[in-house]
């Protein structure tokens, strides 16, 4: 599934079925988002395990009635598929980090692997936004480590999407591809800004007391 390649970015669409080269920046984003997401998931897994052993244990991220991890992990939303959500993160982010390291060493990932990565990133970003809604409007909590996972998942999805569009792995109209390429930083910043605004307004009474 991984083929050696030159270190220079591939700016043309590879023939159907061949590997698609990626820039070092793409590889670095994959490695960093994978590593940071894995560390956040690991920290949550450790705290969840300690809570199972000792219900009186208080995670370090339980800072206030609003900023808290323990109650989020113990909620039904913390185990959507019958097991702790962070276990998904441990596996998925580890795979992303490995692929990022491979890209940085000059490997060309097969186009099918890029499509699988894009599909996984899409599923992850949809799941993350569901968790954001649940956290803000059902649980009324902000879990700091969960927020880290939100940020890196969105960044990962955006990076993989741009790569797939640039290399014709995910076919889109040329105008759409050009718009994404020209405004990707602006669009990503707006995306993060909307989420930050939702968090700010949802818990404004709490934040205002801290000022």
Q: What is the pLDDT of residues 58-79, one digit of tens each?
A: 888 899 989 999 889 989 999 9
* CATH for the 20-210 domain, from 1.10.760.10, 3.30.70.100, 1.10.10.10, 1.20.1440.130: 1.20.1440.130
Q: How far apart are CA 14 and CA 185, in angstroms?
A: 25
The pLDDT of residue 146 = 95
> Which among 63, 65, 59 is positioned nearest to 47, based on CA atoms?
59
Find out whether 149 and 41 touch, Cβ atoms under 8 Å: yes
- CA 44, CA 63: separation in Å to the nearest integer? 15
Query: What was the pLDDT predicted at 74?
Result: 87
DSSP 147: H
Q: What is the pLDDT of residue 87?
A: 95
- The domain segmentation of the chain, as residue ranges, is 20-210
Task: Report the pLDDT value the prediction gives residue 11, as an integer from 0 to 100.
Answer: 40
Stretches where the chain sits below pLDDT 50 are 1-18
Q: Which candidate, 118, 143, 155, places its Cα nearest to that of 31?
A: 155
User: Given this model, what pLDDT does residue 16 score?
Assistant: 44
CA atoms of 151 and 48, how far apart (whole Å): 21
Q: Tokens 């450790």 appear where?
A: 46
From the number of C-beta atoms within 10 Å of its C-beta (0-12, 13-18, 19+), residue 197 rates as: exposed
Contact 1/109 with Cβ under 8 angstroms? yes
Give the separation between CA 36 and CA 20, rounded to whole angstroms.
25
Q: Give the count of beta carbons closer than 10 Å to the beta carbon of residue 173.
A: 8
């Amino acid at each position: 599934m991984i083929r050696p390649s030159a270190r220079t970015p591939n700016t043309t669409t590879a023939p159907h079925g061949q590997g698609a080269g990626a820039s070092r920046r793409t590889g670095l984003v994959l490695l960093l988002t994978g590593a940071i997401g894995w560390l956040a998931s690991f920290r949550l897994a450790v705290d969840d395990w300690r809570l199972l052993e000792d219900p009186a244990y208080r995670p370090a991220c339980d800072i206030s009635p609003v900023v808290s991890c323990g109650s989020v992990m113990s909620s039904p939303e913390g185990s959507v598929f019958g097991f702790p959500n962070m276990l998904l993160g441990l596996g998925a982010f580890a795979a992303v980090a490995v692929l990022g390291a491979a890209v940085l060493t000059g490997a060309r990932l097969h186009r099918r692997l890029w499509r699988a990565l894009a599909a996984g990133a899409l599923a992850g970003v949809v799941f993350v936004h569901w968790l954001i809604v649940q956290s803000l409007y059902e649980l009324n909590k902000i879990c700091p480590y969960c927020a880290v996972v939100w940020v890196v998942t969105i960044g990962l999805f955006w990076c993989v999407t741009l790569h797939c569009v640039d290399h014709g792995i995910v076919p889109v109209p040329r105008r759409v591809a050009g718009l994404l390429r020209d405004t990707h930083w602006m669009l990503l910043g707006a995306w993060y800004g909307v989420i930050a605004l939702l968090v700010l307004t949802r818990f404004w009474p709490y934040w205002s007391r801290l000022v």
